[in-house]
Chain A
């Protein structure tokens, strides 16, 4: 007997509840549906929801808490048997007891005390399971009996179900929101720790990024320098190059798709363009590193320019290709959303398609287009794989697209790969960078939303 079987039985009981609830209420009105407040199925679901939920809740509570409670009891027992022990020794004892109970390998010779403790552990486990299972069944049956009384033709089962649905929806969105808040808080917390090592203005405005800290105090260069400006500059530079590529191409292809392409071309070309969005970024990454970067370097050598084998240009170009579908498909949506009557109105005045596009459709679709650009930008700012592979690691502060630059995301990856102390300034700086990046993209998204709201055209 295990948890799954308990679950199955509970489910079976609630199916029974469903049929019974339905039958009972139909019988109460002699099969005349007009006498019911809700549909028969609503009564069935009412019975299921309000009998299954409490029993499942008990089972859930048991599942998440019984391990911890049993451990606490065992620790008391260990302390009683062996006297004062360190946390480490207690943990060893605990795992020995558990292993013995599960017939796994044990680190010490099996003493009678250990045997006894293992048996005790097993007993606790089994008893708590039965207690939980019986409690769940009891609640199930009790609830069923109570519901059987509740279910009368005048019961507003449909409204109660509505409430239950609403509760589920609220719970889901609460989880989503709480997770976000949790992530932000942990970023904030670690950043605070980092700022105890490094002053905030050194971090935000320092020009030198070399985060290696010494492992031992006697090593040279024991304190790194954490000026993140070159990283932000590199991020913005690559993003800028990417937008130079993706902006015109994305927007123009959106214009072509919506207004100029024939239906046949559109049905083929649009999905193809959207496939670009489905290519994993790591594929773009090695495309950038193995094809584009060498091509740029070779071309540079050919015309006599000094080009690094990893360059901002290569990463920016490929990232631009990556974000084309964001811009084109969101702009496409925005342009398509402009009502046909605007096109008709403009064409009927004797303007060409191009004039209609420039003077009516684009201005009307502008909020959508702007937010497409902003979303693509935040995508580019947060992009990691391509820059890791193609832009390099050197934290140069440069405006030359042929130089190697590095970005915030690349440095976060570099900081956290390999073995790290968790509380060194080096590791903590990753959180600070993450937080800064988060704030940047958040601002972009907020601006995008604001633009869309503020300038939303009322076509009617």
Chain B
């Protein structure tokens, strides 16, 4: 599938990792997303911002088809991963989700040991043939998630016994372990204290070289700190999308300006 750059106002010489074109999403009669066009690039962090209920989570969940689990949800338009339509019939959702991982707002480790939490994905996808290969995956994932030093002595204690911030990093490790290409994060820090938040932000910064990252956040500072691209949603519309520096210093749309300067709730 090849989408003409002329379709949109987005011009770039790089090939996007994921693309959304004319995406419309409905929950029953609710029109949650309206004609959204967005590109997501590898080795970059894309932040989605906007007031509550504007459709950020909805958009994020379209990217790995988690919306399939919502019975009333219909998605129209085109979404691609490496130029392949992820909503076409040939696509295996299970494989798609292995390539596009997700971290949720509230940390949701399984009530299993820390080790089993991280090993869950690799086991399901048969990524390790031998026990020590699995050990290796668990080790590198925890290391990348910046959690290894804190948990290396208690890998067999329950993941739910960790602190909130540790749990969230465990969830990130769990997502990394299946070796995804894109990681989606829906307000990953909203349940965490400032120190845990700083750790996660640091982590996102380190991860961005390896994965395309899309993060939903309500914190302007966070968007400004961690992202290279920012998309501002309002009432289901994508109002403005561009380089984070541009958006925060020189927004084109008055609505964007109002929102980031805090004049809009």
Contacts and interface: CB of A to CB of B under 8 A. Distances in A.
Interface of A: 262-263, 339, 341-352, 355, 359-360, 363-364, 457-460
B124 to A, nearest CB: 5
B214 interface: no
B154 interface: no
Given A350-B95, A350-B121, A355-B124, A263 B71 contact: yes
A30 B156 CA distance: 70
B214 to A, nearest CB: 13
Interface stretch (B36-44, B104-112, B218-226): B104-112
Contacts of A349: 97-98, 101, 120-121, 124, 174-175, 178
Given A263-B71, A341-B108, A348 B102 contact: yes
Contacts of A355: 124
By DSSP majority rule, is chain A's interface helix, strand, loop, or mixed? helix
Nearest to A262: B71
Given A348-B97, A350-B98, 17 more contacts: A262-B71, A263-B71, A341-B104, A344-B66, A344-B69, A345-B104, A346-B110, A347-B66, A350-B125, A351-B94, A351-B120, A352-B94, A359-B120, A363-B111, A458-B111, A458-B160, A459-B111
A351 B124 contact: yes
Interface of B: 64, 66, 69, 71, 94-99, 101-102, 104, 106, 108-112, 120-121, 124-125, 158, 160, 171, 174-175, 178
Contacts of A360: 110
Q: Which of A263, A344, A348, A360 has the most CB of B within 10 A?
A: A348
A339 B121 contact: no
- Sorted from nearest, which 3 A-B pairs have the closest CB atoms? A350-B98, A341-B108, A348-B102
A351 B121 CA distance: 8
B111 A345 contact: no
Contacts, number: 73
Contacts of B178: 349-350
A41 B108 CA distance: 48
16 contacts: A262-B71, A263-B71, A341-B104, A341-B108, A343-B69, A345-B109, A345-B110, A347-B66, A349-B97, A349-B98, A350-B95, A350-B124, A363-B111, A457-B111, A458-B111, A459-B160
Q: Which of A339, A345, A347 has the most CB of B within 10 A?
A: A345
A351 B110 CA distance: 14
A342 B174 CA distance: 13
B71 A339 contact: no
A232 B95 CA distance: 53
A364 B111 contact: yes
Contacts of B98: 349-350
Q: Which of B98, B108, B125, B174 has the most CB of A within 10 A?
A: B108
A346 B111 contact: no
Nearest to B167: A460
Contact of A350 (B97, B110, B158): B97
Given A350-B94, A350-B98, A459-B160, A344 B104 contact: yes
Given A349-B121, A350-B178, A355-B124, A344 B108 contact: yes
A351 B109 CA distance: 15
B91 to A, nearest CB: 12
Nearest to B174: A349
A348 B110 contact: no
A363 B112 contact: yes
Nearest to A360: B110
A296 B102 CA distance: 55
A12 to B, nearest CB: 57
B43 to A, nearest CB: 22
A343 B108 CA distance: 10
A260 to B, nearest CB: 12
A222 to B, nearest CB: 63
Contacts of A347: 66, 69, 97
A351 B112 CA distance: 16
Contacts of B124: 349-351, 355, 359
Nearest to A348: B102
B58 to A, nearest CB: 14
Contacts of A350: 94-99, 121, 124-125, 178
Contacts of B96: 350
A196 B216 CA distance: 78
